[in-house]
Chains A and B, each alone.
Chain A
Amino acid sequence: MGTAPAQLFPEFIAETLGISGVPGQVVGALIAAAVIGNIVLAFTGVAGPWAKRKITAAFTDRIAVDRIGPFGLLIIPAAAVQLLAKELIVPEGVDRPTWDIAPILLPASALLGFAVIPMGHLGPVNLQLADPEVGLALVFAFASIASVSLVMAGYASNNKYSMLGGLRAVAQNLAYEIPLIVTAMSVVIFAGTLQMSGIVEAQQDVLFTIAGFDIPTWYALVNPFAFVLFLTANMAEIGRNPFDIPEAPTEIVGGYQTEYSSAYFVLFYLGEFVHIFLGGAILAVTFLGGASGPGPESIGFLWFVVKIWGFFLFTQWARAAFPRVRIDQLIEIGWKGMLVLSFANLVLTAVIVGVIV
C-alpha cells in the first residue's frame, strides 16, 4: 500500500504527553487500551439494559423501559446496581477455579479482539491500538477463545443443562468458525493483506458512480455472496438467533449460563455483548469499508459506530423474527452447506482475482 500508515492511538497519546521511548510506548498503550476498552464497554452498557429492551419492544409492539430518566436511560445505572448487588451463588460441586475463570475469559477474549480493529478517526485521533501485519488472523484467534470459555463454564458448572449448552457451543463454533475464516480469506485475497488498515484501505476505491455518488469498493458490494455467507456464519459465531442454541432458554434454560448469578452473570452478559460488537466490527472492517463513509475522515469513528450498531440492530431483529434451528440441523448447515459454499467462494475469488489483477 502506498499511503503512509496513520499514527496509531498509543503513539498519539505518547506524543501528546511528551513521553518518548519505551515509557512512552507503555503509558500510551495502557491509556489508549483503557480508552478503547471503555468505549466498547460503554456500548455494551447502553446495549444490554437499555437498547436491547427498546429494540425488542419496538419489534414486538411494546414500549419497554421509560419510567426512569429520559427515555428510560437511567435504567442503565439502575440495572448495574441491581445486578451487582445480587448475591453470588456458588452451587455445590462446581469445579473451581475453572468456574470462576470462564466468566472473565469471555469478555476478555472479545475485548482483546478490539486491539487490532481500526475504529476510524475522531478528529485528529486514529482510534486503533495496534496494526500488526497479521491483524485479521489475530482477531479471529482472539474471538475463538470465547468458545473455550463457554466449554469451561458448561463443564465446570456441574449442571446437566450447562453441560449440554457447553457441548452445543463447541459443536456450533467448530461448524461455523471454519466457513467464517475461509470466507474472510476471500477478502484477504482481494486486499492482498491481513493487515486491518490495509483491508480498509483496499475498500476506498470507487466501484462505479451513480448520479454523482461514488459507490466505494466495499467488499459487501464487490462480493455480496461472500458478505451474506460471512454474515450468517457471524450470527452463529456470536450465538444469536437463529443460532442461539448454546443458550436456548426454552430448551436448556440458558445452557452454560444456568448456574451463574450476580457479577459472574453480568460478566457473561457483558462478554456476549462485546462479542456481538466485535462481530460487527469484524464485519465492518472486512466488508463495509471500516470507518469510511461520506464526509471528512475525521468523523470516521461515527460511521464505524453506525456500522457496528447496525449489526447489533440486525442481531436483535433476527432474534425477534427467526425461529431457532435444531442442533443437528445447525451442524448440517455448517458442515454440508456453509463449508462447501465458503470454499467455492474462496476458489472463485482466487481465480477471478488471478485473472483480473
Chain B
Amino acid sequence: MSLEAPDTPETDAVTEHDPEELAALLGDLVVGRDDHLNAPGFVIRPDTVQETLSILKEQAGYDHLSVVSAQEYENRYESIYHLKKFDDPTQEVSVVVPADKDSPVSESAEPVFRTADWHEREAYDLIGIEYDDHPDLRRILLPETWQGHPLSMDYDKDQPQIASLPSHVNPIQEHHMDDESDTMFLNIGPHHPATHGVLHLKTVLDGEQVVDVESDIGYLHRCEEQMAQNGTYRHQIMPYPDRWDYISAGLLNEWAYARAAEDLADIEVPEYAQVIRTMGAEMCRIAAHMLALATFALDVNGDFTATFMYAINDRERVQNLLEDLTGQRLMFNYFRLGGVVWDLPEPREEFFSKTRDFLDQLPGSVEEYHNLITSNEIFQMRTIDTGILPPEVAKDYGATGPVARGSGVDYDLRRDDPYGYYDELDWDVITEDGCDNYSRLLVRMQEVEESAKIIGQCIDLLEDWPEEERNIQANVPRTLKPDDDTEIYRAVEAAKGELGIYMRADGTDKPARFKIRSPCFSNLQTLPEMANGEYIPDVIAALGSLDIVLGEVDR
C-alpha cells in the first residue's frame, strides 16, 4: 500500500496539541471558550475567521474542514467550523464564530478552505448568516426565489412560496458567452441518465470540451435536518438516516447517528452488538460499492452492459443477507441507541452458512469485474488519467472516502478514529495513487474485498460467542435528555466517506440543532476541478466515479 508523496514535512507522529497550546498559538484571536464533547472550541470574532483558520491550518496542521454548522440562538447567530487533521482525525478543534443577531455577518472561510464555499452557502440558505468575502453567496438547496431562511427562528412557515425559475436560464452566461466566443451552454440534468438522481449540471461547452461545469443541487432536499430536530433522540430519529444515502448504505448512516447520540448521552454499547453492527455495516458497504461499480460501468460502457447486471446481482445477494438480518432490504432501521434491535436470525447456523457462501463466491465475482472492465484496454483508455483530482485539491475540498483514497489520501475513520469493532479486526485501508477515475474504481473494488474480510472475521466471532453473553442492547433510559448546551460532532466512515453528525442538546428530549455532514456534498464539490477542460464523456465518468447519492447531497 503506497501513500501519497509527502508535500508537507513528514508528520509521521502527528503532533498532539493540547487546548492551551492552541489557545496560545491563536493568542488574541480567541475571545472565549465553548468546548464541545469531541473537541475544544474557541470563540473568535466574526472578522477574524480567515486569520484563525489559516493559523490552525498552516501552523497546527488542522487541514481538514469537516463541516460548517450554523445555528441561531436567542441572542446571536453562530457558525462552527469543525476542523480535523487528515493524518489523525481524532485531533479535532471547533472554531465558534458568533455573529450579530440583527445583521449576522461573518467572514468567509472559503479563501482558506475551498470546501467552505458550499457549506457556507448552505448556512446562508437555511439559517441566514451572511459571509463576507464569499465568492458566490447564493442559495444552494432551496430555489433562488425562496423567501426567508427556514431554520432561523423568525421564519414564517405559513408564508406561501413561489418557486419558479425562468426557462433556459443561463446563470453563468456572462462569464463565458460573448460575441466572439462560440461556446455552448448545456443543461445536463436534472433528468439525465447519468446524473444518478436529480442533479443539474450547468455546463459550458467548447465543442465537445467542457469549459465550466456548475452543480445545481437541492432537487431532493427533504428537510432531513429539521425532521431530525423534531424527533426524540431515543426512537424517532433513527429511521431517517436510512433515507440519506439510500443506496443500501442504511446501516452505515444509522451508525453515524448512533455514534454521535451515544457519545452525547454517554451510552456504552455491548461488544456483541458492536460486532453485529460492524458486520452489518460492511455488508452495506459491499452493497453500496457494488452499485457504484454497476452504475460506473453503465456510464462508461453504455446501457446494456453486462457488468451492470452482474454487479446488481451481487448486490441482491448481499441484500438478501441484510434482509435476513434486519427484515428490510433498503430502509433497515436496525440500530438502536445502545445496540441493535434484535439478535441474528434463527437458526443462526443457516445465517452463518449463507453469509459464508456469499463470501466464498465474492472473490470470483470481483475477478470477473476485473476481467470485464478494469483489464479492458478501452476501459483503461477511458478512465486512466481522466478526471484528475490531486491529493491537495481533494483535501482542500474536504473530499473523503474512496474519492480521497483514490487520490492517495490515506484517510479512513474506521482505522483512524476507531469505533465499533474495527480496531480488533485484521483489514487494510486501500489507497491508490492514480488520482483518476480508474483509481477511484479500483479503491472501491478492493474495499469490497476488505469488507468481505471484516465480515468473515465477524461471523467467526459471532459463531463462537457464548450464548449467555449475547447482549444486543445496553440499558438505555426510555427518554434521553442530554444536558443543556452540550455539543458534539461525531463521524463514521460511510460508503461515500466521512458521514458526521453535529448535535446540540438543549436539555429536552429532542436535539436543538441537528446537522448532517454529508460526504457526497463535499465530494461533489470537486467535480469542476476534475471536469474542466475534459470531454463530456469524461465529465460523466468523473461524476460516476464520485459515486454521489443525491439523497445525501441534498438531505
Q: Which of A's residues lie within 8 Å of B, judged by CB?
A: 56, 59-62, 160-161, 164, 168, 241-242, 244-245, 248-253, 319-329
Contact = CB atoms under 8 A, between A and B. Distances in A.
B382 A249 contact: no
Contact of A61 (B193, B303, B310): B310
Given A250-B193, A322-B378, A323-B301, A328 B208 contact: yes
A325 B378 contact: yes
Interface string B296-331: 011111111110111001000000000000000000
B358 interface: no
Contacts of B60: none
A62 B193 CA distance: 22
A60 B308 contact: yes
Contact of B537 (A56, A62, A251, A321): A251
Interface string B412-442: 0000000000000000000000000000000
A327 B297 CA distance: 18
B153 interface: no
A324 B306 contact: no
A56 B297 CA distance: 16
Given A160-B184, A327-B537, A250 B303 contact: yes
A19 to B, nearest CB: 48
A327 B535 contact: yes
Contacts of A321: 305-306, 372
A85 B177 CA distance: 42
A84 to B, nearest CB: 24
Contacts of A253: 192-193
B378 A250 contact: no
A320 B298 CA distance: 10
15 contacts: A60-B306, A61-B306, A160-B186, A241-B302, A248-B302, A250-B298, A320-B304, A320-B306, A323-B379, A324-B302, A324-B378, A325-B382, A326-B382, A326-B535, A327-B537
Interface of B: 184, 186, 192-194, 208, 297-306, 308-310, 313, 372-373, 376, 378-379, 381-382, 535-538, 540
Contacts of A322: 301, 376, 378
A68 B202 CA distance: 43
A265 B309 CA distance: 27
Nearest to A58: B306
Q: Most chain-B CB neighbours within 10 Å: which of A241, A323, A329? A: A323
A327 B205 CA distance: 15
Contacts, number: 87
A168 B298 CA distance: 20
Contacts of B382: 323-326, 329
Contacts of A252: 536
Contacts of B537: 245, 248, 251, 324, 326-327
Contacts of B299: 250
A171 to B, nearest CB: 9
Contacts of A60: 304-306, 308-310
Given A325-B381, A325-B382, A328-B535, A320 B208 contact: no
A59 B306 contact: yes
Given A326-B537, A327-B535, A249 B313 contact: no
Contact of A249 (B184, B297, B300, B302): B302
Given A319-B304, A323-B382, 15 more contacts: A56-B304, A60-B304, A62-B309, A160-B184, A168-B208, A249-B193, A250-B299, A253-B193, A322-B378, A323-B300, A323-B379, A324-B300, A324-B378, A325-B378, A327-B537
Contact of B208 (A59, A164, A250): A164
Contacts of B376: 322-323
Contacts of B300: 323-324
A323 B373 contact: yes
Contact of A242 (B192, B310, B378): B378
Nearest to A244: B302
Contact of B301 (A61, A160, A241): A241
B536 A251 contact: yes
A88 B305 CA distance: 30
A249 B301 CA distance: 10
A244 B301 CA distance: 10
A59 B372 CA distance: 12
Given A322-B376, A327-B535, A250 B184 contact: no
B540 A250 contact: yes
Nearest to B534: A326
B417 to A, nearest CB: 37
A252 B382 CA distance: 17
B381 A251 contact: no
Contacts of B540: 250-251
Closest 5 CB pairs of A and B: A60-B309, A320-B306, A323-B379, A250-B194, A323-B301
B383 to A, nearest CB: 9
Contacts of B378: 242, 322-325
B485 to A, nearest CB: 50
Nearest to B193: A250
Given A323-B376, A326-B535, A326-B538, A250 B310 contact: no
Contacts of B303: 249-250
A277 B448 CA distance: 42
Given A61-B313, A323-B379, A327-B208, A250 B306 contact: no
Contacts of A245: 537
Contacts of A320: 304-306
Contacts of B313: 61
B206 to A, nearest CB: 12
A248 B382 CA distance: 14
A64 to B, nearest CB: 11
A56 to B, nearest CB: 5
Nearest to B535: A326
Contacts of A164: 208, 536
A328 B208 CA distance: 9
A250 B302 contact: yes
A58 to B, nearest CB: 10
Nearest to A245: B537
A327 B309 CA distance: 26
Nearest to B379: A323
Contacts of A326: 381-382, 535, 537-538
A334 to B, nearest CB: 14
Nearest to A326: B537
Q: Most chain-B CB neighbours within 10 Å: which of A160, A245, A324? A: A324
A323 B379 CA distance: 6
Contacts of B184: 160
Contacts of B194: 250-251
A133 B536 CA distance: 45
Contacts of A161: 186
A253 B379 CA distance: 20
